[in-house]
Amino acid sequence: MIRIGIAAGLLTVMLGSPSFAVTPQQKMATCKFGADNQKLTGPARAKFVKDCMANRDDPRGVNTAEPSSNN
Residue 24 has pLDDT above 80, yes or no: yes
| Neighbouring residues of 48: CB distance < 8 A, sequence distance ≥ 6 | 31, 34, 35, 38, 40, 59
What is the overall mean pLDDT for the chain? 74
Q: What is the pLDDT of residue 21?
A: 56
Distance in angstroms (rounded) separating the CA atoms of residues 8 and 13: 9
Name which of 6, 27, 4, 24 is nearest 15 in CA terms. 27
Once rounded to an integer, what is the mean pLDDT over residues 28-56? 91
Q: What is the pTM of this model?
A: 0.49
Report which of residues 20 and 47 the model is more confident about: 47
Residue 14 has pLDDT above 80, yes or no: no
The burial of 49, by beta-carbon neighbours within 10 Å (0-12 exposed, 13-18 middle, 19 or more buried), is given as middle
Domain ranges of the chain: 21-59
Distance in angstroms (rounded) separating the CA atoms of residues 31 and 35: 6
